[in-house]
Structure 1
Amino acid sequence: MTIKRVILVTLTVLAVFLMGQDLLNSWNQPQIQSRLELYQTNLLLRSTEFRSSDMNTDAARKALLGAEPTKNALEQYEDVQQQVQKTLKQTQSLLASGSSNKAQPVSLEQTERKLTRLVTELDLKLGILRSQQGETTLAQKEWDKVIQQAEVDSGLNPLAVTAEVLKGLWAKSPQLLPDAEPQIQKNLDGWFRDRALTQLYTLQQRSADLQALQLSEQQAAEKALTSLAIVGGIPVLSGVIGIGILIFAIGQWVVQRKQALLSAETLQPWTTPWDGETIWQVLILGFFMVGQIALPIFLAVLQRATGLNPASFGEQGKALFILFNYVLLAAGGLGVLYWSVKSYLPLPEDWFRIRLKGNWFWWGLGGYFAALPLVVVVSLVNQKIWQGRGGSNPILPIALEGKNSFALAIFFVTAAIAAPIFEEILFRGFLLPSLTRYFPVWGAIVLSSFLFAVAHLSLSEVLPLMTLGMVLGFVYSRSRNLLSSMLLHSLWNSGTLLSLIVLGSGQG
Structure 2
Amino acid sequence: MEYFLRGRRGEWRWRSPVGNGAVDALARWQWRRSVAASALLQQCESLHGRGRGTNPGAKGKRDSSVGSGINGSEESGVEWRILRRWEVPWDWQTVSLTSLACVIGFLSTGVMDAIHRFKPDVLSLNVEAVMLLLDIGITTAVILGIIYSVADTFQPLPEDFFKYDLREPFNLQKGWLLWAGVGLVSAFIANVLTRVAVSIFSGGPPKGQTDALVILAPLVGSSNLGTACRLVVSCVLIPLLEETVFRGFLMTSLTKWVPTPVAVVIISSLFALAHLRPAQFPHIFVIGSVLGFSYAQTRNLLTPITIHAFWNLLVIYVTFFSRKLDGNILSLTWM
Find the counterpart in structure 1 of residue 104 from structure 2. 289
> 1:60-139 residue pairs with structure 2 within 5 A?
none
Q: Partner of 2:94 in structure 1?
A: 278
Out of 488, 496, 502, the position equivalent to 2:307 is 488
Q: Deviations over 1:302-327 (max 9, x none)?
A: x7xxxx95532122222223222222
Q: 1:282 to 1:382 in 2, by over 3 A?
A: farther
**Structure 1 residue 457: deviation in Å?**
1.1
TM-score when scaled to structure 2? 0.65
Q: How does 1:181-330 map to 2 (within 5 A)?
A: 258=69, 267-286=83-102, 288-292=103-107, 294-296=108-110, 311-330=121-140
- Check conservation: 2:81, 2:297, Cα contact below 8 A: no
Give 1:466's match in structure 2, choosing from 274, 281, 285. Answer: 285
Aligned residues: 244
The structure with the largest alpha-carbon Rg is: 2
Q: Which amino acid is the alignment partner of residue 313 of structure 2? A: S
State percent identity of aligned pairs.
Answer: 27
Tell me: CA distance 1:453–1:320, structure 2 relative to 1, closer, same or farther (3 Å): same
Q: Residues 68-122 of structure 1: CA distance to partner in whole angstroms, max 9, x if unpaired?
A: xxxxxxxxxxxxxxxxxxxxxxxxxxxxxxxxxxxxxxxxxxxxxxxxxxxxxxx
Counterpart residue identity of residue 84, structure 2: Q
- Whole-angstrom distance in 2 between the partners of 1:312 and 1:499: 28
What TM-score, normalized by structure 1, do the two folds share?
A: 0.44
Please tell me the residue identity of whatever aligns with 2:121.
Answer: A
Q: Give RMSD over aligned pairs.
A: 3.0
Q: 1:418 aligns with which of 218, 225, 237?
A: 237
The equivalent residue for 1:205 is none
Structure number with higher helix proportion:
1
CA drift of 1:488 comes to: 0.8
User: Are the counterparts in 1 of residues 195 and 206 from structure 2 also a CA contact under 8 Å?
Assistant: no
Aligned partners of 1:386 and 1:410: how far apart in 2?
38
- Contact preservation (8 Å) 1:400, 1:503: no
Matches within 5 A, 1:162-181: none
Structure 1 Cα separation of the partners of residues 133 and 145 of structure 2: 18
2:167 counterpart SS class? coil
Checking the alignment, whether the CA contact within 8 Å between 1:272 and 1:434 is kept in structure 2 is yes
Corresponding residue of 2:249 = 430
SS at match of 1:344: coil
